[in-house]
Amino acid sequence: MAPVLPLVLPLQSRIRLAQGLWLLSWLLALAGVLTLLCSGHLLVQLQYLGTFLAPSCPFSSLPQVALAAGAVALGTGLGGAGASRASLDAARYPPWRGILGPLLVAGTAGGGGLLVFALGLALGLPVSLDKGLEEGLGTALVHYKDTEVPGHCHAKRIMDELQLRHHCCGRHGYKDWFGVQWVSNRYLDPSDQEVVNRIQSNVEGLYLTDGVPFSCCNPHSPRPCLQSQLSDPYAHPLFDPRQPNLNLWAQGCHQVLLDHLQSLASTLGSILAVTFLLQALVLLGLRYLQTALEGLGGVIDAEGEAQGYLFPGGLKDMLKTAWLQGGVAHRAAPEKTPPEEVPPKEDLPEA
Amino acid sequence: MALLKVKFDQKKRVKLAQGLWLMNWLSVLAGIILFSLGLFLKIELRKRSDVMNNSESHFVPNSLIGVGILSCVFNSLTGKICYDALDPAKYAKWKPWLKPYLAICVLFNVALFLVALCCFLLRGSLESTLAQGLKNGMKYYRDTDTPGRCFMKKTMDLLQIEFKCCGNSGFRDWFEIQWISNRYLDLSSKEVKDRIKSNVDGRYLVDGVPFSCCNPSSPRPCIQYQLTNNSAHYSYDHQTEELNLWLHGCRAALLSYYGSLMNSMGAATLLVWLFEVTITVGLRYLHTALEGVSNPEDPECETEGWLLEKSIPETWKAFLESLKKLGKGNQVEAEGADAGQAPEAG
């Protein structure tokens, strides 16, 4: 049975491998903590911005998967640090011999799987944000007036706070407010002829005005905010609606939220990629260390040369042994590990 | 009769020195925290100096910064002394300086306590600065064309949105000033002319407020104009309406913000002060214990440490005596000098 990707490891190389692995494991733990923090931040942002995303949008699953992946990366990092530290000390290594095997399997299958999944989500989900935001913001605009309806009574406050905080107005511009009824019927005087005219002027019987809520106002404007009669050039002195002015916020909330969430997702994605790389390196190094020390029979300080390898035999031999032993669990591991191992292998001979 | 005597053998002395060394380095960290707290308060005061008439007192943050730096310096020095205290050779060079150094430490602790008190007590000066500054801010709200004041509108609007407040003590303050610039008034309209003629100063006063006073939690779209006229709006009663605008005045909101900031900084300073007092007491015990060692040439012996060699009234009497002697000594020298000069002249 020829071992897969063997590497000869004399005592000095083993020591250097263990030391390098210790450093990488702590870096992996740090990357895991960063992933946890970043996905926690995204989760908190989504709690507050989630009302502007359509419920069917799958974006909210990204921070949860990233949290799990970060936790597993942290665990792998801490375990790797402990194992590499113990491998330098003959007295501390024996209890780690038993743990190392399951740790490697859990790290590769669980951690690797979760990280790949999270990375895929971070790359693919922002595409669905566009549609989700379109629907979500549209619903928020329509429900702005429903401050008495249970389930939507906070829509006004949340929409106002969004426009105040993110400096935006409407979906793609302030004219979106002209197409929805944002004044509740409760505050419309049914005996006022002007109100009746407006309601009768459109098919759906909505009270539409060419005005916007106060939260669209831009404090940088030199004049007090003009919120009503925005399409009538003669309603306000010195006001020309065709001229770009500072009166209201110019950008729409759709673009602002899209940029915001996409930048958060791409930051999370880059941190996940770095964590994935570090995890692959740590797991590879641990495997080589484990097999080299097993070759010496678990004796750390032996001066002899040991051979480290990834797998004791080729794929076919491994499957045969696994089938003969009746261990079904081994079948999952070899199918996942070969693709990731070839590129980083060049780094190891330097250790 | 020494004050608060404690017996120290070699091991206890070593442990005291090591413990003090650790506490001193923790105290350096506390000093850095005090420094950053002072810096933070200074930046926060600067950020809003526009509404404080640019005349706010920076005494509290400056003193926090100073005390933080002094604490770092003194505590690292004390840490070095405690480290050297374990080695008799190195300690010998510090010995003559320890008594004056302890006096300086006591003075520093008193200063630290005074700074902590200031954090709690100096709120009052802020109130009058804020009242004046906000009044000016509202007065210059409309002067967006005047250089030097063109930013006041933006500052007031952002302040009212962020602190959820309106006007100086309430929204009615806006009724008393003209906050709409003449540039945007249609001076040919009869209504505008009536309003301007209706008061002595010829100002355009409205019972309306800027948009930044609006409360997003209100169930109805914000009513900004004709606030005292119930018939101008459907189903509106200005006396019972509470959610439409922010009810608090900005003076109270800013005061409570800065007040809570200074209270928490005062509490942190008090904690650091307690820590510093413990360190000074420990250093005094170490000093007196090591003083007892150097008399017999036996480092392993048991000595006593105390806070004051005699009881408090006796120490005070001795201190006054030494002051008098110092004064008398100068007098004798002066008389001697005069007597020396007189025979020469004569």
Q: Mutate one of A214, A215, A227 to test the B interface: name it (highest B CB count within 10 A).
A: A214
DSSP string, B247-261: -S-HHHHHHHHHHHH
> Do residue B219 and residue A184 have CB atoms under 8 angstroms apart?
yes
Q: Cα(A297)–Cα(A285) distance, rounded to whole angstroms?
A: 18
Q: Cα(B231)–Cα(B208) distance, rounded to whole angstroms?
A: 15
Antiparallel, parallel or unpaired: β B6-8 and A306-308: unpaired
Q: Inform me whether the pLDDT recorded for B344 exceeds 80.
A: no
Q: Inform me whether the pLDDT recorded for B216 exceeds 80.
A: yes
In this complex, the residue of A164, A188, A217 whose CB is nearest that of residue B234 is A188
> Do residue B184 and residue A238 have CB atoms under 8 angstroms apart?
yes
Whole-Å CA distances, B40 to A71, A86, B35, B60, B118: 34, 45, 9, 11, 17
Q: Which residues of A touch B241 (CB under 8 A)?
A: none
Average pLDDT for chain B: 87
In this complex, the residue of A148, A215, A237 whose CB is nearest that of residue B219 is A148
What average pLDDT does this structure show over A161-167? 94
pLDDT digits (tens, 9 = 90+) for B158-215: 999 999 999 999 999 999 999 998 888 888 889 889 989 988 888 999 999 999 999 9
Range name among A167-176, B3-12, B43-52 with the lowest pLDDT average: B3-12
pLDDT digits (tens, 9 = 90+) for A248-266: 999 999 999 999 999 999 9
**Hey, is B148 helix, strand or coil?**
coil
In this complex, the residue of A153, A161, A225 whose CB is nearest that of residue B216 is A161
Q: Which two tokens stand for residue B220?
A: 């109805």
What average pLDDT does this structure show over B274-289? 91
Identify which of A99-103, A242-246, B41-45 has the greatest average pLDDT.
Answer: B41-45
In this complex, the residue of A153, A189, A214 whose CB is nearest that of residue B222 is A214
> Do residue B153 and residue A222 have CB atoms under 8 angstroms apart?
yes
The confidence score (pLDDT) of residue B163 equals 95
Q: Inform me whether the pLDDT recorded for A1 exceeds 60.
A: no
A&B contacts, CB < 8 Å: 71
Instruction: Name A246's Cβ contacts closer than 8 Å, sequence gap at least 6.
Output: A218, A220, A221, A222
pLDDT digits (tens, 9 = 90+) for A302-342: 666 777 777 776 667 767 777 787 655 555 555 444 444 44
Q: Cα(B15)–Cα(A344) distance, rounded to whole angstroms?
A: 52
Task: Please give, rounded to a whole number of angstroms, the shortest distance from the CA of A319 to a CA of chain B.
Answer: 59
> Do residue A217 and residue B211 have CB atoms under 8 angstroms apart?
yes
Q: Cα(A41)–Cα(A267) distance, rounded to whole angstroms?
A: 11
pLDDT digits (tens, 9 = 90+) for A97-137: 788 888 888 888 888 888 888 888 888 887 888 888 999 99
Q: Inform me whether the pLDDT recorded for A197 exceeds 70.
A: yes
Minimum Cα–Cα distance from B188: chain A residue: A237
The confidence score (pLDDT) of residue A231 equals 84
Which position has the higher pLDDT, B174 or B90? B174
What average pLDDT does this structure show over B55-76? 92
- How many angstroms separate the first and last alpha carbons of chain A? 27
> Do residue B217 and residue A157 have CB atoms under 8 angstroms apart?
yes
> Do residue B161 and residue A164 have CB atoms under 8 angstroms apart?
yes
pLDDT digits (tens, 9 = 90+) for B119-160: 998 888 888 899 999 999 999 999 988 888 889 999 999 999
pLDDT digits (tens, 9 = 90+) for A14-61: 888 889 999 999 999 999 999 999 999 999 998 888 888 888 888 888
> Do residue A225 and residue B217 have CB atoms under 8 angstroms apart?
no
Q: Inform me whether the pLDDT recorded for B331 exceeds 60.
A: yes
